[in-house]
């Protein structure tokens, strides 16, 4: 896999290696919610995050729309408790879970609110703030990102994750946990 400008790849990022800090920190932080649960990672990308969650979860299924990415994730990160499927999470059936994780994916969807509404378990999500990438269908300000509901945390550009009420900064990422 090669870096195209959007999908995070934990290696081969060259001068963009700084991106690893916040992506890896987010999944490491999410592991406390995933412990001993059946987890579906929506928009799992290259699979590194699903793999991190598989270290504590009972089972993790990573879903992504891109066949090449899913193939890479299967070759690189699949194990006895971590599998990957190709799926369009807006159209296709999403298997039941005890926790859904959707990091840096909702902004790519046509109707992200519809996806959030149809999940039958808690959702841990993140959204970039002020990012107007050509790959994104939506750009969010903090209030717009919080509209999906739940408990809200802010993540700095340095990867620190703090409760919204303790934030002393403008967030680079909004993280929500909707129960």
For residue 137, the model assigns a pLDDT of 66
Does the pLDDT value for residue 157 go beyond 80?
no
Helix (H, G, I), strand (E, B) or coil at 163: strand
As given in the structure block, the two tokens for residue 35 are: 């412990």
Which is higher by pLDDT, 5 or 50? 50
For residue 149, the model assigns a pLDDT of 81
Average pLDDT rounded to a whole number, residues 115-128: 90
Residue 74 — very low, low, confident or very high, per pLDDT cuts 50/70/90?
very high
On whether the CB atoms of residues 85 and 40 are closer than 8 A, the answer is no
Name the percent of the chain lying above pLDDT 70: 85
Spatial neighbors of 102 by CB under 8 A, at least 6 apart, are: 41, 42, 43, 115, 123, 124, 125, 126
Residue 41 — very low, low, confident or very high, per pLDDT cuts 50/70/90?
very high
DSSP alpha helix (H) spans, 86-141: 112-118
As given in the structure block, the two tokens for residue 45 are: 């990308």
Does the pLDDT value for residue 165 go beyond 60?
yes
Helix (H, G, I), strand (E, B) or coil at 143: helix
Does the pLDDT value for residue 29 go beyond 60?
yes
Average pLDDT rounded to a whole number, residues 149-161: 82
Residues for the chain: how many in total? Answer: 179
For residue 5, the model assigns a pLDDT of 53
On whether the CB atoms of residues 178 and 148 are closer than 8 A, the answer is yes
pLDDT in tens, 95-113: 999 999 999 888 878 898 8
For the chain, domains (ranges, CATH) are 15-172 (3.40.50.150)
């Amino acid at each position: 896999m090669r870096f195209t400008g959007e999908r995070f790849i934990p290696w081969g990022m060259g001068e963009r290696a700084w991106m690893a800090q916040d992506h890896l920190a987010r999944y490491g932080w999410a592991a406390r919610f995933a412990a001993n649960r059946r987890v579906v990672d929506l928009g799992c990308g290259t699979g590194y995050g699903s793999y991190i969650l598989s270290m504590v979860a009972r089972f993790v299924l990573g879903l992504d729309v891109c066949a090449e990415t899913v193939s890479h994730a299967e070759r690189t990160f699949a194990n006895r408790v971590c599998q990957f499927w190709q799926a369009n999470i807006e159209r296709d059936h999403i298997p039941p879970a005890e926790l859904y994780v959707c990091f840096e994916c909702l902004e790519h969807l046509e109707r992200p609110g519809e996806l959030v509404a149809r999940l039958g378990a808690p959702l841990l999500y993140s959204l970039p703030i002020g990012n107007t990438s050509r790959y994104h269908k939506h750009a969010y300000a903090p209030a717009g990102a919080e509209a999906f509901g739940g408990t809200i945390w802010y993540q700095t550009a340095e990867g620190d994750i703090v409760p919204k009420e303790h934030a002393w900064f403008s967030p680079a990422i909004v993280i929500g946990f909707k129960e």
